[in-house]
Structure 1
């Protein structure tokens, strides 16, 4: 059966697959467009499975906060190279997943992957993108915040590689301004907890043990050593606690001081994602070598 150029063009536009692949499946499908799309999906699944074991430590952080500021989500979507991380289709997929996560109460990545998006599930679209772009692509993690009472949810993304989602309670009309400033601060200053009392007792105990060991050979009186340990411990807690940190846009005030200027505002929680953190990436492999490896593969 003869396949026209217009049929190949339509299939390419609908699926993003290569010209030769489109012509091949159209011939196999006897010119039936829906059957050809299904065949491409099946072939895409095979390609996706072959790439699943490859390290995906690049990618993008994408966030979406609904218009009323009552819910929002942040996702990390990974790929293998910075080149693909900048691809419009890849970034569009990440943004679509963030929007979906913001509007659905998925309790796991697997649940999120099973939700409907575009012309299939998130998982099906992910696998299709692997086939199109030629790299392993993963939806690694996500977080969703939603408020039932007064407050605001805001986000900040720096360069597509660092993202923050913040949840603030309060009734101030400009609460969103505080939430956005706090999100920017978290991105820059990397706090681990909202306040010092949120630090787990086990973490505090371990830090104290280290400080005691460090002070053991100081030769100072016991009461002086105790004050040294207490002072250093409080300093450490202040450094990892959001409200105790100097505000990044005005170091003369703490984040707690900033919060007080917004009436009854209270930062409830925050999450900070950075692309690839915690993923072991092979050392000594240049970008050129990665590209050549993919060409040979």
Structure 2
């Protein structure tokens, strides 16, 4: 069977709020998404939630004993879980692993069960954290046929102390407040314009910043900033408002490279949209 083939699937289910229909163009590795939605409607489950986070887990082994169905492709593994024995009647979960990111959807008849199920899944798929050997998780955003998606990778980074002497004194003085442990962004966020010719160490310095901020900040890299600032308003909202880790205390650093013309006052004219 070609797992990349698609099929038109229609699901109708009776629920307390009436008859609803699901109609999707499906790729078989993502069949669990529609199965999850169909069961939520069929069983009249009132409450759902979703979350995603970078994870150090690389397999679904921890939850396979609870799997109703599984799906695998070269890039994605997913499992639809019956967690009723753990959390009560009609509780469901869908978990997917893709590129170092755990994405979960949970459903329960009682609202209080949702954070309990998510907490259990976070224990099964531990969030990735910066390690002592200076490996930092980074989330990479892109926009495709299914909308905004994110995958996570762990990359090696230097400390600022190791590389600071590679930069001119004046630049080191400008960067010192950013890498200082007492730094806090302004209320509502802060824009940092980092510019210079290619090969001057901008990306390397950003990697060092990721290490210095590791205890309080998650790094997100937008692969296609021209789409983010283009016609896809849903993409911009998804990236800016994303709260996948659920931790209100941590910051999010959004990195957009080569975006000078996209931030200019005449950006639309420069990019041919004016």
Fold match (TM-score > 0.5): no
The structure whose residues are more often helix, as a share, is: 1
TM range, smaller chain: under 0.3
Structure number with larger C-alpha Rg: 1
Query: Larger % of strand: which?
Result: 2
TM-score normalized with structure 1 length: 0.23
